[in-house]
Amino acid sequence: MNEQSHYSLPGTLQDHLRQRLRDGRFVMTAELTPPPSSEAGPLLRRAAALKGLADAVNVTDGAGARAHMGALAAAALLINAGVEPILQITCRDKNRIALQSELMGAAALGIRNVLLLTGDDPKAGDQPDTKPVFDIDSKTLIETARRLRDEGTLPSGRKVEGKCDFFIGAADMPIDPPPGWQPKGLLGKIESGAQFAQTQFCMDIGIVRRYVAALEAAGITRQLSLLIGVNPLRSAKSARWMKKHLYGTIIPDAFIARLEQAADPAREGLAICVDLIAELATIAGVAGVHIMAPGNDAAIPEVIRLAKARVQRAG
């Protein structure tokens, strides 16, 4: 039997996300929350709709502090189905030994893209008595992945066999930067090894422009690929809920008013999202978008199809 993992992606897909970002293409990633399922079918049916459309698909790790199919297993299933995953790993549920083991396992399964996060507070989930771990923070986990990739060692100094060819991502939260503001958090993640960042929802093009200008002044956009989080809003009610309950979410009141007045709010929300993506593609320093639609996954493929027709850099 050939020792090379049978989970390896075809050569054309192996580093699709990383290569397109290097080439200056405008990328579109999508988020997929694994279902609470012990069968692969439900996950693969949802992933199939994104195949050939999304440049890569995020597989969340206990999103919303709820139990789902394990992210590592889900990412491996996506690879076998020819869909390039971005494996999310959070610090919430595992100590550093388990996290290091998961990174090595991901590399063995052919997973290249990793997004390393703190994780949602368990009190926000459906089992609020869960004890969080948070043995290390996301910056330390990013540094661990970088060390595995570049030095082939664990933080203890132990040598690791094989290659961990990670493309390392971090989370970011855009703000409207006040005078004198410095993006110290993101700079720290870059110093630890982050190569791309996906952000919380930011649907205000003016704030994005000002935020990216501040990142550019700090030299960040030359070191890291920035993907702005967007959402095909379903309704005014949904948009208000997101603004209230999802920390850091930015949605202009004008968009909420449009949704309220629309005969078909979901269709209007999709149009808003596509228009926004087309505008974001014109901003130097914005490398792409990360499309998230909790409870509305079916809208993501259409958003990507329509946006690709509008965005030259996506070709």
Residue 129 lies in a domain: yes
Percent with pLDDT over 90 in the chain: 87
pLDDT at 181 over 60: yes
Q: What is the pLDDT of residue 15?
A: 87
Residue 22 lies in a domain: yes
Q: What DSSP assignment string belongs to 1-54?
A: --SS-TTPPPTTTTTHHHHHHHTTPPEEEEEEPPPS-SSSHHHHHHHHTTTTTS
Same domain, 168 and 202: no
pLDDT one-digit tens code per residue, 11-47: 445 689 999 999 999 999 999 999 999 999 999 999 9
pLDDT at 6 over 80: no
Domain with 12 in it: what CATH number?
3.20.20.220
Phi, psi of 70 (to 5 degrees): -55, 140
Same domain, 161 and 84: yes
C-alpha span between 193 and 138 (Å, rounded):
11
Q: Which of 108-122, 198-212, 265-279 has the lowest mean pLDDT?
A: 108-122
Residue 182 lies in a domain: no
Q: What is the pLDDT of residue 13?
A: 53
Residue 246 lies in a domain: yes
- In the listed set 157, 172, 187, which residue is the last one of a domain according to the structure? 172
- Our count of domains for the chain comes to 2
Q: What is the pLDDT of residue 65?
A: 79
Residue 192 lies in a domain: no
Residue 262 DSSP code: -
What angle is formed at CA 24 by the lines to CA 12 and CA 271, rounded to 5 degrees?
A: 95
Mean pLDDT of all residues in 64-76 = 93
pLDDT one-digit tens code per residue, 86-141: 999 999 999 999 999 999 999 999 999 999 999 888 888 789 999 999 999 999 99
Percent with pLDDT over 70 in the chain: 95
Residue 91 lies in a domain: yes
Range of the domain at 31: 1-172
pTM of the model: 0.94
